[in-house]
Structure 1
Amino acid sequence: MRRLTAASRIVIPLAGALALSACSAGGQDSTDTLQVVNNPVAAKAAVSPAVSVPPAGQVLAMPAVSAIATDAQSHTLVVALSEPPSVRIYDLGALGSPKATVGLPAPAESLTASGGQALASVPGKGVLARISLPGGQVQTEPVSGQPAEGVAAGTDTLVAVRDRKAIEVLSGGKVAKTITGSLYSADGVVDTGSDVVVLDRLRTAVFSVDVQAGTMDEGLRAGAGAANAVADSYGRVLVTDARAGALLAFSTGPLILRQRYPVPGGAYGLAYDHQRSLAWVTLTGTNQVVGFDVRGGEPVEKYRFPTVRQPDSVSVDEQTSRVLVGSAAGEGTQVIQP
């Protein structure tokens, strides 16, 4: 397998970023030289084959998982189920049965958790659900459009609204600001602590967001099929490329592609362990999860485990380093101790 070293890493200059940010926000644009196809389609997880190797670790029986997250403050695992649409809350120290189950008006597409709160985005009903942890008290907030992902950013909440191609800034439960720009869709939002980046799956690109100014700034292509994104410990944004099979690393301020590392097998789900500088990538084409040390000039594979079928989602318990993998095929949630 060919690896890109630090000396040969792909770096795209700001000029390329400006070329992308200057394009139309309305969809297909024949003048957009960075657009790959005339009718773009968002990348999806590769369909998994039947499991041929027993999954590593422990498997918690449950229906199809649509998203998964962990919260260090409350020491909880949060799992979104497709049917019935709900969120289960587990004590990470006692995973035998859920502490609470919260019903949702439709399946949650994404989950983020921090500071004793989980945010579940429910695009089918146009709501963002705030769930207190570990108790499970829920408050739903209407969002105009299809909220794809919400993240806490200080006292505000940033919500990527897919169909409106926008980032909503919520403060005190109300929309304080709406930020739009050269997006085809707003599918994810990442806060590195100093910068904010939005993921556009339809355009397979990432864009910098200046929340204070309320502007969408430079953008860059993110491979052939950007799928998921997280922040690492070094102010970078990591992105899985589901079509080309790669892990990308972007620095921010300005936005620059620093690394493109081949990850064959259907790279899709992505989580990051800040305590150990490990990026965990699920491979839905081979039913595996791989842990990469990302501290150096290129990722270094440290772990590889067999998983449940269709491992679309992954999270990390940073206190113990355990990896939690959710099966979108209804084959449970897997708990792996590296």
Structure 2
Amino acid sequence: MRRLVITCITATLLAGCGMDQSSDPLQVTDNLTAATPAASPATTAPAGTVRRAPPVQHTAFDRDTRTLVLAAGNQLILTGPDGTRRTVQLPAAPASLRTAPATALVALPEADQITRVDLRTATATPTPVPGGPVDAVDLPDGRTAVITQRSRTVSVLDGDRPTTSSEPFTGPARLLPAAGEINVLDRLTTSITPVDPTNGSKGAGLRAGRGATNAALDRFGRILTIDTRGQSLLAFSTGPLVLKQRYPVPGAPYGLAYDPSTDLAWVTLTATNEVVAYDVAGGQPREVRRLPTISQPNSITVDPNTSTVYIASANGAGYQVVNP
């Protein structure tokens, strides 16, 4: 009980801590619902250039091959710097999409696998992961951390062999390696919790607003987090995990991309069909740019070499290219 009380005091600057019977000290109710993007209104003329695409769930950019990767249903659409498109068919829809050097990494829960796609050859290499993986990320030591939805745990894989596994979470959705730990964004408890990759033990978690949905690491080792329900942008330092900033972002913020070359955090606003760029290098975020977008701008990514921003629609309005 003493540990629970201490966690409540330190972790609930943004929300109260309830004394329920859950094994998770950050869970304040038995009726948890993850935050979702707002339904977008009719859009005005979007900034930049709009290109055709089916409804897109995830967006990423690989700086080595300069490839834009769009996850749309059961396929990845790869667009090169010359505009050439290639399509990679997958056995299921990705729950997450990341890029590493010349590679796209997707988690496919319905297929019980993670898959790496070579962006130079457009060839896919699957790795079986029982339990329905919903996110995966490569660690600096060459191993891979994976969230599995049926066990609700974080496992560290050496090849396809689990080496460590955490205690269960409530709704783990996103992995953020920083300061030698694996930080876990839980969308149901709207919290961030560090996990030790050597033994799977959990550290002290912190509340992440009222409805955290997406997060990204910046070059300072901080975790930038979108609180969609609380309409704010949060910044946590790591090692140890400490909430450093909370900045209001009205308009149902959802998509998030960070540009390390400019220290801009690009945030999509699904209630207003806008994207806002915040300079996050100082003591608090500072708005430097605001642009109209296509409808339902749920995902966004940035080319760190050119600072070109790509915003993708989840309802088939295409994707938008905004030059710096």
TM-score normalised per structure 2: 0.91
| Match 2:82 to one of 94, 100, 104 | 94
For the pair 1:171 / 2:162, whether they are aligned, the reply is no
What's the CA shift for 1:195? Answer: 3.4
Q: What displacement does 1:129 show?
A: 1.3
SS of the equivalent of 2:288 reads strand
SS at match of 1:238: strand
Q: Which amino acid letter does the alignment assign opposite residue 316 of structure 2?
A: G
Match of 1:319 in 2: 305
> 3-state DSSP class of the match of 1:335?
strand
Pairs within 5 Å for 1:147-296:
147-154=133-140, 155-181=142-168, 183-192=169-178, 194-296=180-282
Report the CA distance shift for 1:264/1:276 in structure 2 as closer, same or farther (over 3 A): same
Query: SS at 2:21's partner residue?
Result: coil
Q: Distance in 2 between matches of 1:184 and 1:142?
A: 23
AA aligned opposite 2:34: A
In structure 2, what is the equivalent of residue 122 of structure 1?
Answer: 108
Superposed CA deviations along residues 287-307 of structure 1, whole A, max 9, x for unmatched, are 111111101110001111111
Residue of structure 2 equivalent to 1:6 = none
**4+ aligned runs moved over 4 Å, structure 1:** 17-20, 30-34
Residue type at the aligned position of 1:303: R
Alignment deviations for residues 146-173 of structure 1 (CA, whole Å, 9 cap, x no partner):
2221112121111122332211212223
Identify if the C-alpha distance between structure 1 residues 18 and 142 changes in structure 2 by more than 3 Å, giving closer, same or farther.
Answer: farther
Alpha-carbon offset, residue 17 of structure 1: 6.6
Q: Tell me how many residue pairs correspond in the alignment.
A: 312
How far, CA to CA, are the matches of 1:166 and 1:61 in structure 2? 38
Q: In the alignment, does 2:50 pair up with 1:59? A: yes
Contact 1:235 1:251 in 2 (8 A): yes
Assess if the C-alpha contact under 8 Å between 2:146 and 2:154 holds in 1.
yes
Deviation at 1:274, TM superposition (A): 0.9
Question: What whole-Å deviation, never above 9, does each CA across 1:108-138 have from its counterpart, x for those lacking one?
Answer: 1211001111111122222211111122110
Q: Deviations over 1:14-56 (max 9, x none)?
A: 9437877xxxxxxx736877544330011111111121x1111
Does the 8 Å CA contact 2:95/2:134 hold for their aligned counterparts?
yes
Percent identity, aligned pairs only? 41
The residue that corresponds to 1:3 in the other structure is: none
Give 2:62's aligned amino acid.
D
In 2, Cα distance between the equivalents of 1:285 and 1:304?
A: 14
User: Match for residue 70 of structure 1?
Assistant: 61
Q: CA deviation at 1:194?
A: 3.8
Specify which of 92, 108, 124 is matched with residue 138 of structure 1. 124
* SS at structure 2 position matched to 1:235: coil
Secondary structure in 2 matching 1:124: helix
Counterpart pick for 1:48 among 37, 40, 44: 40
More moved, 103-112 vs 30-39? 30-39
Structure 1 pair 71–284 and aligned structure 2 pair: CA distance change class (3 A):
same
Gaps in structure 2 of 5+ consecutive residues = 12-19
**Structure 1 length-normalised TM:** 0.87
Change (3 A) 1:323 1:148: same
**Partner residue, 1:307:** 293
Q: List per-residue Cα deviations over 1:189-215 (Å, max 9, x = no partner).
A: 012364321110011100011112321
Task: Please give the alpha-carbon distance, in whole angstroms, between the structure 2 residues aligned to 1:149 and 1:165.
Answer: 11
Q: Report the CA distance between 1:327 and its aligned residue.
A: 0.5
Partner amino acid for 1:220? Answer: L
Task: Return closer, same or farther for 1:234/1:309 CA change in 2, 3 Å cut-off.
Answer: same
Equivalence for 2:14: none
User: Aligned pair 1:113/2:104, yes or no?
Assistant: no
1:251 to partner: Cα distance: 0.8
Q: Following the alignment from structure 1 to structure 2, what is the Cα–Cα distance between the partners of residues 131 and 18?
A: 44
SS in 1 for 2:7: helix
Distance (whole Å) between structure 2 residues aligned to residue 224 and residue 263 of structure 1: 13
CA distance in 1, matches of 2:144, 2:128: 13
Equivalent positions of 1:6-85 (< 5 A) are: 15-16=6-7, 29=21, 34-51=26-43, 53-82=44-73, 85=74
Kept in 2, the 8 Å contact 1:89–1:134? The answer is no
Q: Which is worse superposed, 35-44 or 233-242? A: 35-44
- How far 1:175 moved relative to its partner? 2.2
What is the rounded CA distance, in whole Å, between the counterparts of 1:196 and 1:334 in structure 2?
32
Secondary structure at the aligned position of 2:202 is classed as strand
Q: What is the rounded CA distance, in whole Å, between the counterparts of 2:214 and 2:128 in structure 1?
A: 24
Secondary structure of 2:41 counterpart: coil
Which letter maps to 1:90? T
Q: Which residue identity lines up with residue 288 of structure 1 in the other structure?
A: E
